[in-house]
Amino acid sequence: MRRRRLSTVAVIGTVTFAALLPGTVTYAAAPVRPAVAQDDDDVTCEGPDPDESPGPAASGSSRRLPRGGGWAPAKWPTGIPNAGDARNMLGQLIVADNKPPGYHRSKFRVSGSNDCWIRQGDPCCTTRQIVLKEQSTIPVTLKGKCEVVKGNWTSEYDSRAFAGSPKGLDIDHIVPLKAAWDAGADTWDVAKRERFANDISPGTPQLIAVSATSNRSKGDKRPDQWMPPDPLAACPYGEAWIAVKHKYDLTVTRAEGNALARTLDHC
């Protein structure tokens, strides 16, 4: 296998991350009941079946503020570098066209199950619920300590607005698990793969709440194969993809690297 590095020097920008479960919440009345297995939309990598009725498009002017040469997203995950830093990060990534065999979602869980999300933080909520709470544009309503039953979200991939229930929203891995496997995650131990699949740590823009329709259209495609349908999402999406791959020292294919470089040219 031949590898080479794209020629640039790394300059990594300073990034911040909001507290794990910040903000004020309200609580929905719910009967006391014993602990039961989590709902399907809470443990699988996708949410419930997508709502086929499209939500209204969100106003671009109200959800993004200009920042040097591009757009600052309202509710993308934090830790997205600016275009200049992203370009330098991209230059450090090794180019390799690999397709190692053996991928299965269960290899990203220590338990070996097909469930995607783990419980983490305080009060030990699933990754899906944490992301829904963090990325709502208003304080969410909770049932119990964790389950988000009401909030407001904008699916940045396709500009769909979701007011009220989070059903119809998926939590997308910016770098899909299969894409990570092909780019080097096949060599990791399973504990590291599980951390990658549930990474909400500071400076890692890996998880985002988006419409189920857009998430499932994306699947496990790389940026040379799929980009968000909303053109305004191209820059933060490409920058986030690069940041995640840089953090985890994952490779890029030649076509992927070229597509990301072209995206940054317009940021």
**Mean pLDDT calculated for residue range 112-134:** 92
**Mean pLDDT calculated for residue range 192-197:** 97
pLDDT tens digits, one per residue of 21-54: 333 344 343 333 333 233 334 444 554 444 433 4
Centre a 10 Å sphere on the Cβ of residue 255 and count the other Cβ atoms it contains. Answer: 14
Percent pLDDT > 70 in the chain is 72
- How buried is residue 33: exposed, middle or buried, by Cβ count under 10 Å (0-12/13-18/19+)? exposed
**Mean pLDDT calculated for residue range 123-150:** 96
Which residues in the chain belong to E strands, given as ranges? 4-5, 26-28, 64-67, 70-73, 94-95, 119-120, 125-126, 141-143, 147-155, 160-164, 169-173, 207-211
pLDDT of 173 higher than 90: yes
pLDDT of residue 162: 96
pLDDT of residue 116: 78
Cα 53 versus chain centre, distance:
23
Please, what is the average pLDDT of the chain? 80
- DSSP annotation of 252 reads B
Q: Where are the alpha helices (DSSP H) in 66-164?
A: 83-92, 127-135
Lowest average pLDDT, out of 8-17, 21-30, 59-68, goes to 8-17
More confident residue, 63 or 201: 201
- pTM exceeds 0.75, yes or no: yes
Structure tokens at 221: 């495609």
Residue 194 parent element (H or E)? helix 190-197
pLDDT of residue 107: 95
pLDDT of residue 101: 95
pLDDT tens digits, one per residue of 64-107: 434 333 444 458 999 999 999 999 999 999 999 989 999 999 99
More confident residue, 85 or 2: 85
> Can you tell me the distance from the alpha carbon of 128 to that of 43, in angstroms, rounded to the nearest whole number?
8
Bridge partner residues of 70 (DSSP): 67
Find the angle CA(122)-CA(207)-CA(205) to the nearest 5 degrees.
100
> Can you tell me the distance from the alpha carbon of 175 to that of 13, in angstroms, rounded to the nearest whole number?
20
